[in-house]
Chains A and B, each alone.
Chain A
Amino acid sequence: MVLLTLLAAITIGIVRMRNLFGVVVLGGIYSFLMASVMIVLDAVDVAMTEASVGAGISTVLMLGALSLTKTEESVPKHLPLLPVFVAVATGAVLVFGTFALPPFGVAETPMNTHVAPYYLQNSIPDTSIPNVVTSVLSSYRGFDTLGETTVIFTAGIAVLMLLKGKRHIKPGPKRRRVSR
């Protein structure tokens, strides 16, 4: 509860702040608080992802983007009524969706009775991997994980190609033909 209040305070601070550098720092704080909330909810792996991606990599990437632009955010000309309406409507729909969820940590929900007992009983005879989560991710759903890895690999190659093309054009005084 305290952590969620702090999260809300940080969010309001991010929205109100005009200095983008401070916004990046506040974003890192937000990620650490969010990771703490995940830990309190007993989702340690999600918390670890949040801390590494949100507080570590995102801060570095946002700073890299900040060095390409200016540091002060310009004041918007008109009131953003339509985005506010869309955000509030989406939030209301999400809150409405949580009413149908089962209470936190109940053992009889479909999520815990459908395939989880099978994995818990058979993962060691099937795969002989001691960690059940690892066996589900890399053995039972191996093709799924392979697809995710392919997507991320392709995205990384695309980003590398974009950066490389820019570096070849930029240093020359005139636009001349790029030679490798």
Chain B
Amino acid sequence: MILAAATLAVLVALLLGVIRALRGPTVFDRVLAANAIGTGAIMLLALIGFLTGRPEFLDIGILYALLNIIGTLAVLKFFRYGDLSHPGGKEPGDA
């Protein structure tokens, strides 16, 4: 019962995230929404795992979390440097 309620709450959170991603005036809103939706998907995965009696889904949730970080890091690096092959370190405004 409490698991079903939690699943419903996560679905509502996903809905809110999608609304923000579609309406978000700036790109950063969308990046944040994407990150939140990734986290929501992980929560949904874990809850469904417990609802159907298979807690092994938690391992897959950990994998999702790692992948979520890759995507967000790539987006932010692209926004900062305009190029994914930039070595990083220095700011573009530095001499």
> A residues within 8 Å of B by Cβ?
2-3, 6, 9-10, 13, 19, 21-22, 24-26, 28-29, 32-33, 35-36, 39-40, 42, 44, 47-48, 51-52, 55-56, 59-60, 63-64, 66-67
Bound-complex Cα distance A107 to B63 (A): 31
A55 with B57: CB separation less than 8 A? no
Instruction: For B79, give the chain A residue with the smallest CB separation.
Output: A21
Bound-complex Cα distance A87 to B32 (A): 32
B63 with A28: CB separation less than 8 A? no
Q: Tell whether A56 pairs with B70 under 8 Å between CB atoms, given A32-B37, A36-B45.
A: yes
B41 with A9: CB separation less than 8 A? no
CB-CB < 8 A to B38: which residues of A? 28, 32, 55
Consensus secondary structure, chain A interface: helix
Binary interface profile of B, 62-94, with partner A (CB < 8 Å = 1, else 0)? 011001101100110011001111000000000
Instruction: For B82, give the chain A residue with the smallest CB separation.
Output: A67
Partner of B48, one of A39, A59, A67: A39
> B residues within 8 Å of A by Cβ?
11, 14-15, 17-18, 21-22, 27, 30-31, 33-34, 37-38, 41, 44-45, 48, 52, 57, 60, 63-64, 67-68, 70-71, 74-75, 78-79, 82-85
The 9 closest A-B pairs by CB, nearest first: A56-B67, A59-B71, A32-B41, A25-B30, A13-B22, A60-B74, A63-B78, A56-B70, A67-B83
Partner of B78, one of A39, A56, A66: A66
What would 24 A/B residue contacts be, using CB atoms closer than 8 Å?
A: A2-B14, A10-B21, A13-B21, A25-B33, A26-B22, A26-B34, A28-B75, A29-B21, A32-B34, A32-B64, A36-B41, A36-B44, A40-B48, A44-B60, A48-B60, A48-B63, A51-B67, A56-B67, A59-B75, A60-B70, A60-B71, A63-B84, A64-B84, A67-B82
Instruction: For B70, give the chain A residue with the smallest CB separation.
Output: A56
Listed residue (B52, B57, B71, B85) with the most chain A CB atoms within 10 angstroms of its CB: B71
